[in-house]
Amino acid sequence: MNQIVLSVGGFYIQIIFKLENKFFYKHILERDIKKFYRNFITQERQEKYDFIINIVDKGIRSVDFVKAGTSNQIQTYINFFNRSKKNKITSYYYISINQFDYLFLHVLEKLLIKNKGFILQSVATIIKNKAILFLGGKESINAFIISHLSKQFPILLTDKNIIKKEANQFLMYQIPTLRSARLSILQSIGYTIKEIYLIRKSANYAVLPVRKKEAIANQLLKFSNVPKLLRHLELKQYSSNSLRYFFEFVNKNNFYSINIGGDKYKIKQLFNSIKIKQNSIN
């Protein structure tokens, strides 16, 4: 039996590989997790883990054949994972690292919904050990902003991150994924959030402070996983917790609106002029 312990978002997640035999393919998933999640692997051992993922062998019995509605068509399903206990999941050696990414995100959602947190899609950069978040914008605009920011500041995250309340403040944690594995900075520590910028399409290029946060709360909500939780068959009974902390997060943080169009030269000028308010960060 081999094991890996991941430290993500302040949680300790144990992955146990139950090797019944040593066929080479059974080491592929373990190898890939060690490769792509390496910055989050910890040697610390806990008396109790926040979550346990068991990886076991399973043969042809894991394939299910289901009749599709009233037609004669038969759909084939391969079991992905089973929820064996409250904080324990069992999955199989035949899943890929891409599928493990999804499984791990599901585990984090289960933990966060009961621990004052949620997941947010954003581009993040770090200035003086504090996180600056950017939300919104088309993929092409986001790519340009990432490219421009990376020349001045380290890009911490370009996809999903954890927002979690600890003590009396909200911290941002990275989530290990295949997409984030290429970033130069990957750490399991939490960062204080200094400012959040909401990118909006406009003919006028300007950076404006958001005075009425209630007016943008619903717009910001779509960048979080909270709407998904409201519809989730298993987690929706706890979704009010995440919704509550989402609105508290909006109320407690400083938001700015970045109004931009499609002119990349003007976007560059705008970012050069504000310099991400770095002089205001203590």
Residues in contact with 32: Cβ distance below 8 Å, sequence separation at least 6, in sequence order: 96, 97, 100
Domain that holds residue 272: 117-280
Task: Work out the mean pLDDT of the chain and round it to a whole number.
Answer: 81
Is 48 inside any structural domain? yes
Residue tagged 């917790």 (tokens): 241
Q: For residue 172, what is the domain's CATH number?
A: 3.90.228.20
Spatial separation of the C-alpha atoms in residues 225 and 216, rounded to whole Å = 16
Residue with the larger pLDDT of the pair 137 and 242: 242
Burial level of 44, CB count in 10 A (0-12/13-18/19+)? exposed
Structure-block tokens of residue 62? 């894991």
Is 141 inside any structural domain? yes
Same domain, 20 and 61: yes
Residue with the larger pLDDT of the pair 227 and 140: 227
Number of domains the chain contains: 2
Query: Which of these, 14, 99, 100, 27, lies nearest to 57 by C-alpha position?
Result: 27
Domain edge (last residue) among 100, 133, 158: 100
Is 14 inside any structural domain? yes
Residue with the larger pLDDT of the pair 21 and 211: 211
Is 46 inside any structural domain? yes
- The pLDDT, as a whole number, for residue 86 is 82
- The pLDDT, as a whole number, for residue 280 is 42
Residue with the larger pLDDT of the pair 60 and 108: 108
- The pLDDT, as a whole number, for residue 101 is 93
Residues in contact with 272: Cβ distance below 8 Å, sequence separation at least 6, in sequence order: none
- Beta strand 191-201 pairing with 255-260: parallel
Specify the pTM. Answer: 0.84
Same domain, 218 and 167: yes
Same domain, 206 and 83: no
Q: Is the pLDDT of residue 281 over 50?
A: no
Domain edge (last residue) among 100, 135, 160: 100
